[in-house]
């Protein structure tokens, strides 16, 4: 019997689940909210960070997964992130080490995984990389399984060329007007996610999933559903919402296959700023919000607890030494036995006759950019979590190698602003203005924040208000609105402060970020309707 099913739906916004109109399209997920505990969770940063946290129960600074692309193991270029990029053991590896079989499908950074009892099928197995179904091989390292023949697995994949036109047409309001690129994107997402679902349902139906099934559907990764309100007229709106409906149906099917009342069913997802978790099953309170302190790192702990593993480590202090994956592998694992292998010979030099050694200039630059992306994501996570000094170090490491790095300069500027070092912040802003920073929209936000910190509230309002007049507030503008509201209230302008608070709330509603409203109480989740609704 499968005791746990964990479905991850990246990029499905929480607002879609609590909005009256859109939630009608997602009945299975809404029923889960009613039957269990749910709510938005504190943000941790971009998607691989979220997934790393869900896989390991550790914060991004420990699990280390910040980018879907990473430097190749051999250092000769870049590639899709693999198991080595994840520095902690995953929940299914913990189960494996405890002798429990489980199955993991379509999670990133799982290539070259190992499994003694269960099954790990990585994201690279499902990715459509070939224009032809017959030429769609299984990438070595894409499947880790205890026994059996991985060759049979290709039967569970659905190639886009196997889809009929009608199957793709339903994703478009006017199929005849849909351009070829949009159709290709829909076909690819449909085939990849259908492949994942085929294998997931097969494993559940046959009991081959073992004690737990972990499955990730990334059909919404190509669409910004957050901005595609149902009443909007975006060209891709129909496709995006059809995919959301499809994912809801997938969840419904998995729920139907799990007949036992004893199964813990968990759904996670959300956009970067606003991840969410819904769970129902034994020991999960019905129709409740998550208690304070429950975050993404708590999800694998919830799963482990259901499976009787009380010692599963979640969270972890940032200064804790990072565990290395092969240290956590079972002792009879190939990694452990391979660790001591030494080499006492070198390759014949003849193969290097052309003098081509190591990655070339372009690849080196790409690898450097890839490392910077990782450092950047880590720095943003640290900064957002109050570790400003550590974040500053990360930004500086990037700027040492790439002095014109716009995002790192902007991040460093935010660190200086939060520390109140206006001179240093001004230097960063000057660097942004003279360099490519002009292209970054956030430079305006930084300038306004600088005015607020300098106490030039009227100038800040003059710069800020035209940017939001007649527009839908964004997360960034909500932050500034909240900051300006506090400043206005401090100088006794309560009426303006209240209006700014309203702007902040509207941005908060769209983006779902917790703001500091001083003494005003905040709350989140479906029970309270809108997050932050307790604010003035």
Partner 1 sequence: MIHDLTLSHGGWVPQLFPDAVFLATTPVLYGLTWPDAPSRLAGAVLVGPPHWSEPPVHRLALSVPERDDELAVASRLVDHALETVGAARGGVVQTLSPIDPDGAIAGVLEQKGFERVRSVVRYRFALKTAFRVVSATLERLAARGRIPDDHELVAYGDEGEGISRLCLASLGQLTPGHLRAIGEYPHGEVGRASSLVLKQRGETVAALAVDLASTGTAIFDPLLIADGFTDAWAFPLLTRRVSEILIDRGVVTGEAEIGSDNTKMVRFMAAISARVVATKVQYRRFIERR
Q: Provide the minimum distance between the beta carbon of 266 and partner 1 in the complex, in angstroms, as a whole number.
A: 29
Contacting residues for 357 by C-beta, under 8 A, at least 6 apart: none
In the complex with partner 1, the residue whose CB is nearer, 259 or 336, is 336
75 lies in the binding site for partner 1 (CB under 8 A)? yes
Angle at 241 between CA 236 and CA 245, to 5 degrees: 150
Cα–Cα distance measured from residue 288 to residue 304, given in angstroms and rounded to the nearest whole number: 21
56 lies in the binding site for partner 1 (CB under 8 A)? no
In the complex with partner 1, the residue whose CB is nearer, 142 or 212, is 142
| Span near partner 1 by CB under 8 A; candidates 68-76, 236-244, 431-439, 475-483 | 68-76
Helix runs in 457-522, H state only: 457-468, 475-490, 494-511
* Interacting positions 215-244 with partner 1 (CB under 8 A): none
Determine which residue in the list 342, 420, 441, 470 makes contact with partner 1, applying CB under 8 A: 342
Contact 12, 244 (CB under 8 A): yes
Determine which residue in the list 173, 320, 339, 430 makes contact with partner 1, applying CB under 8 A: 339
In the complex with partner 1, the residue whose CB is nearer, 76 or 249, is 76
In the complex with partner 1, the residue whose CB is nearer, 371 or 414, is 371
Contact 312, 304 (CB under 8 A): yes
Q: Provide the minimum distance between the beta carbon of 356 and partner 1 in the complex, in angstroms, as a whole number.
A: 5
352 lies in the binding site for partner 1 (CB under 8 A)? yes
Contacting residues for 74 by C-beta, under 8 A, at least 6 apart: none
Q: Give me the helix-helix angle, 298-306 and 47-56, nearest 10°.
A: 30
Site string for partner 1, 122-151 (x = CB under 8 A): -------xxxx-xxxxxxxx-------xxx
Q: What DSSP string runs through 155-191?
A: GG---GGGS-HHHHHTT-SSGGG--HHHHHHHHHHHH
154 lies in the binding site for partner 1 (CB under 8 A)? yes
| Span near partner 1 by CB under 8 A; candidates 352-360, 385-393, 402-410, 515-523 | 352-360
In the complex with partner 1, the residue whose CB is nearer, 308 or 334, is 334
Contact 382, 398 (CB under 8 A): no
* Interacting positions 79-98 with partner 1 (CB under 8 A): 79-80, 82-84
| Span near partner 1 by CB under 8 A; candidates 38-46, 78-86, 179-187, 479-487 | 78-86
Q: Provide the minimum distance between the beta carbon of 361 and partner 1 in the complex, in angstroms, as a whole number.
A: 5
Determine which residue in the list 36, 359, 507, 525 makes contact with partner 1, applying CB under 8 A: 359
Q: Provide the minimum distance between the beta carbon of 190 and partner 1 in the complex, in angstroms, as a whole number.
A: 20
Q: Tell me how many residues contact partner 1 (CB under 8 A).
A: 58
Q: List phi, psi (to 5°) of 105.
A: -125, 130
366 lies in the binding site for partner 1 (CB under 8 A)? no
Q: Provide the minimum distance between the beta carbon of 520 and partner 1 in the complex, in angstroms, as a whole number.
A: 50
**Environment class of 221 (CB within 10 Å of its CB; exposed 0-12, middle 13-18, buried 19+):** middle
Cα–Cα distance measured from residue 465 to residue 337, given in angstroms and rounded to the nearest whole number: 64
Determine which residue in the list 174, 341, 441, 469 makes contact with partner 1, applying CB under 8 A: 341
Site string for partner 1, 310-329 (x = CB under 8 A): ---------------xx---
The dihedral over CA atoms of 357, 360, 366, 367, expressed in degrees to the nearest 10, equals: 20
177 lies in the binding site for partner 1 (CB under 8 A)? no
Say how far residue 366 (Cα) sits from the centre of its chain.
22
Neighbours of 110 (CB within 10 A): 28
**Environment class of 253 (CB within 10 Å of its CB; exposed 0-12, middle 13-18, buried 19+):** middle
466 lies in the binding site for partner 1 (CB under 8 A)? no
Contact 431, 415 (CB under 8 A): no
357 lies in the binding site for partner 1 (CB under 8 A)? yes
Residues binding partner 1 (CB under 8 A) = 72-77, 79-80, 82-84, 111-112, 129-132, 134-141, 149-151, 154, 325-326, 334-335, 337-348, 350-352, 354-363
């Amino acid at each position: 019997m499968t005791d746990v099913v964990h479905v991850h739906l990246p990029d499905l916004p929480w607002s879609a689940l609590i909005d009256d109109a859109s939630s009608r399209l997602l009945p299975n997920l809404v029923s889960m909210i009613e039957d269990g505990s749910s709510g938005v969770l504190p943000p941790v940063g971009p998607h691989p960070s979220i997934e790393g946290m869900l896989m390991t129960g550790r914060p991004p600074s420990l699990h280390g997964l910040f980018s879907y692309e990473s430097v190749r193991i051999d250092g000769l270029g870049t590639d899709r992130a693999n198991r080595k990029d994840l520095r902690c053991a995953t929940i299914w590896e913990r189960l494996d080490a405890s002798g429990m079989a489980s199955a993991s499908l379509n999670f990133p950074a799982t290539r070259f995984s190992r499994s003694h009892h269960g099954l790990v099928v990585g994201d690279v197995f499902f990715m459509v990389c070939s224009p032809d179904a017959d030429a769609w091989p299984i990438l070595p390292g894409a499947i880790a399984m205890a026994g059996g023949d991985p060759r049979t697995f290709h039967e569970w994949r659905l190639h886009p060329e196997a889809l009929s036109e009608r199957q793709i047409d339903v994703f478009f309001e006017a199929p005849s007007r849909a351009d070829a690129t949009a159709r290709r994107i829909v076909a690819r997402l449909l085939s990849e996610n259908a492949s994942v679902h085929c294998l997931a349902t097969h494993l559940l139906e046959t009991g081959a999933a073992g004690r737990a099934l972990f499955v990730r559907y990334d059909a919404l990764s190509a669409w910004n559903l957050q901005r595609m309100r149902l009443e909007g007229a975006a060209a891709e709106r129909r496709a995006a919402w059809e995919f959301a409906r499809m994912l809801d149906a997938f969840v419904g099917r998995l729920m139907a296959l799990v007949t036992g009342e004893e199964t813990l069913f968990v759904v996670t997802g959300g956009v970067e700023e606003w991840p969410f978790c819904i769970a129902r099953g034994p020991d999960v309170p019905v129709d409740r919000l998550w208690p304070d302190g429950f975050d993404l790192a708590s999800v694998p702990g919830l799963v482990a607890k259901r499976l009787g593993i009380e010692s599963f480590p979640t969270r972890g202090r940032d200064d804790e030494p990072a565990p290395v994956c092969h240290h956590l592998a079972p002792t009879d694992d190939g990694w452990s036995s391979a660790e001591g292998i030494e080499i006492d010979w070198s390759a014949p030099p003849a193969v290097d006759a052309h003098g081509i050694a190591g990655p070339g200039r372009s690849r080196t630059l790409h690898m450097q950019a890839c490392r910077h992306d990782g450092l950047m994501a880590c720095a943003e996570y640290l900064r957002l979590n109050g570790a400003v000094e550590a974040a500053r170090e990360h930004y500086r490491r990037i700027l040492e190698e790439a002095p014109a790095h716009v995002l790192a300069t902007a991040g460093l500027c935010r660190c200086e602003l939060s520390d109140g070092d206006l001179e240093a912040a001004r230097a960063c802003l000057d660097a942004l203005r003279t360099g490519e920073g002009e292209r970054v929209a956030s430079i305006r936000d930084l300038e306004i924040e600088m005015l607020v910190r300098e106490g030039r509230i009227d100038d800040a309002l003059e710069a800020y208000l035209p940017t939001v007049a007649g527009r839908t507030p964004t997360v960034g503008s909500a932050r500034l609105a909240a900051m300006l509201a506090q400043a206005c209230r401090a100088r006794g302008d309560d009426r303006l402060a209240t209006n700014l608070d309203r702007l902040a709330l509207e941005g908060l509603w769209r983006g779902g970020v917790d703001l500091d409203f001083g003494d005003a109480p905040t709350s989140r989740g479906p029970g309270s309707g809108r997050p932050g609704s307790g604010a003035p």
